[in-house]
Structure 1
């Protein structure tokens, strides 16, 4: 019996060493993954909010240090942090990270407990019995911040006074649009829904407002072709206020979509635009472009400035093919809303994106 015990004891010790150390290694790997992911997310978030690469690196290091790996905070050197761009070649493909770039939107962090890292390798409890005193785990995490600076470009031409089926609704010809039945009412609800959707995202997007029709004097009011009603701002109160003001009097005039796009470009290339943010224009019309230069020409200029235009047609009278061409010229998407409920749903869909994603 004693002989059997003597023979089996070393095997038991080896098995115990293996079981304890395997569990320890799994725990450390999980801790390293958590710490590295947290560092990557914190860095990408700070890059978005501050637009400052140095601040983003500091945030990543601080987040890593707050998370323990094998009993001590993870130390991440500057060489283990990469700031760059992350993008998809198609809407269904994986994000690919490229260090550097003009519009920085991602951070890749390499978390290490290796011989070459500041914290060194992780000691094993019983592995040294088998001649393996330590192990050296590594984890890589990339977080992508899908920031957007957005300009809403809305149609305030005379047809917005009618309902979606082009019927005249009750109210004075020179009074404000019908608050429930008019196309303007549907647009106003959709814009408010869009802003409410942005309010639910983890970070704050910048948003501005442009309106367009054409110049003229109607009902005792002077109308301009297009106005920048609200510049880019983290606060959406000016947009809500301007939409209420525009709806407080008759909306009038023809449809100069080109002028709306041009002012949208001005908003998205202004000093308020964040250098690392994706520039997005949401262009809505209920009719057909019938005055001013060709809108596709303005869209091509927007594309040269890395502005994506998503177009929305509202009502059967809208010019579908032209708005599809405007969206296509900038890599955007065209949507059609047959009624007010669909219009709000589309606006909310465009607003609701996942701002920060762990992409590696």
Structure 2
């Protein structure tokens, strides 16, 4: 815990003076009791329990003063609070390899079920958008709070050829920031860009943006699930840089075989391999995390973990109000006990 105004902590040195003053008053009362036999007799009659109880209200008052000084020093601590996340983009792989059955009943169905469960656990105010990607990427559902529309969009997935992980990130960013100059035309057409030209096309009258620190944008995040490596489209590392420049975290989820596997279907076969290294780079570049899900149960756990990460967050927050409230409660308790026990305040 840190303090924004640590100079006020010097006031804590006054607390021992209060203790000394209290002890001095007790000594004076003790001398008075010895001088007058009747007072000594009353003290004897009170008993030890009553004598101990008389010190409780002053002790509570001292604690209240301590809390008040700490509150004045403006303490700051890392606390867990509800997240300000307002929009989450789910980018889901629908390439042909998602029909593999190493994750039961198959990768696509397991991913669909986990995504629907994830959506159901999010707070109702959080918008969710769906991007489906294979050889290209398209928005299956614009961000919405309507959970039924999201489930319908997920159930409509159709398997396609190839894998364009970079396109999925760029399409997600274009959905989150429609006013920024993201060059979707060249990306979707597959035309090669001149060397040095970025997907951020700011010369078409679009709203400019200033790059920010990675992971600093609190209002949106992207979750990308894939079981393969990029075979076409935008370089995913370049797309991750675009997300990092906008402060958007890209959480990556890998499902499938890391070492590679040949998958056959209706007379054709394809070699698929999960590119974990690239997925980790995407997550690290955007200050997010990479998760591996080898089974349907693992995938559900990944989405549960992501749900908790995106709905609550730890951040440095001033907690002066907590100390002030504690000081008020202790002061009221001290005064209340003193009135009940001794018919006076302290």
Q: Which residue of 2 aligns with 1:181?
A: 105
Contact 1:197/1:352 (<8 A) preserved: no
Matched, 1:319 2:271: no
How far did residue 269 of structure 1 move? 2.4
CA gap 1:8/1:302 in 2 versus in 1, 3 angstroms = farther
Work out which of the residue numbers 193, 196, 202 in structure 1 matches 2:117. 193
Contact 1:147/1:205 (<8 A) preserved: no
Work out which of the residue numbers 263, 269, 272 in structure 1 matches 2:171. 263
Matched, 1:5 2:35: no
Q: Which residue of 1 aligns with 2:295?
A: 339
Equivalent residue runs for 1:33-52 within 5 Å? none
How far did residue 254 of structure 1 move? 0.6
SS in 2 for 1:232: strand
The answer to which structure, 1 or 2, has the higher relative contact order (CA under 8 A, 6+ apart) is 2
SS in 2 for 1:352: helix
Report the count of equivalent residues. Answer: 223
Q: Which residue of 2 aligns with 1:309?
A: 250
CA gap 1:183/1:16 in 2 versus in 1, 3 angstroms = closer
How far did residue 283 of structure 1 move? 0.7
State how far apart, in whole Å, the 1-side matches of 2:82 and 2:217 are: 10
What's the TM-score, normalizing by structure 1?
A: 0.53
CA gap 1:204/1:7 in 2 versus in 1, 3 angstroms = same
Q: Which string of whole-angstrom CA distances, capped at 9 and with x for unpartnered residues, describes residues 292-350 of structure 1?
A: 12110000010000011111111012111111111111111111111222112111211
State how far apart, in whole Å, the 2-side matches of 1:226 and 1:152 are: 12
State how far apart, in whole Å, the 2-side matches of 1:326 and 1:245 are: 27
How far did residue 281 of structure 1 move? 0.8
CA gap 1:343/1:144 in 2 versus in 1, 3 angstroms = closer
State how far apart, in whole Å, the 2-side matches of 1:206 and 1:192 are: 14
Matched, 1:150 2:88: yes
Matched, 1:291 2:232: yes
Contact 1:258/1:293 (<8 A) preserved: yes
Contact 1:164/1:314 (<8 A) preserved: no
Q: Which residue of 1 aligns with 2:187?
A: none
Work out which of the residue numbers 170, 195, 208 in structure 1 matches 2:129. 208
Contact 2:254/2:292 (<8 A) preserved: yes
Contact 2:120/2:147 (<8 A) preserved: no
Contact 1:213/1:253 (<8 A) preserved: yes
State how far apart, in whole Å, the 1-side matches of 2:174 and 2:111 are: 23
CA gap 1:26/1:299 in 2 versus in 1, 3 angstroms = same
Q: Which residue of 1 aligns with 2:161?
A: 253
Q: Which string of whole-angstrom CA distances, capped at 9 and with x for unpartnered residues, describes residues 182-231 of structure 1?
A: 211011111012112215xxx732221111112xxxxxxxxxx2111222
Task: Write 1 or 2 for the structure with the bigger share of helix.
Answer: 2
State how far apart, in whole Å, the 2-side matches of 1:161 and 1:194 are: 21
Task: Write 1 or 2 for the structure with the bigger share of strand.
Answer: 1
Equivalent residue runs for 1:13-24 within 5 Å? 18-22=55-59
State how far apart, in whole Å, the 1-side matches of 2:228 and 2:94 are: 10
Contact 1:157/1:253 (<8 A) preserved: yes
Contact 2:89/2:130 (<8 A) preserved: yes
What's the TM-score, normalizing by structure 2?
A: 0.55
Q: Which residue of 1 aligns with 2:149?
A: 238
Q: Which string of whole-angstrom CA distances, capped at 9 and with x for unpartnered residues, describes residues 236-277 of structure 1?
A: 32221101122xxx4111101111011111223248xxx973
The alignment yields a C-alpha RMSD, in angstroms, of 3.7
Equivalent residue runs for 1:41-120 within 5 Å? 95=78
CA gap 1:329/1:23 in 2 versus in 1, 3 angstroms = closer
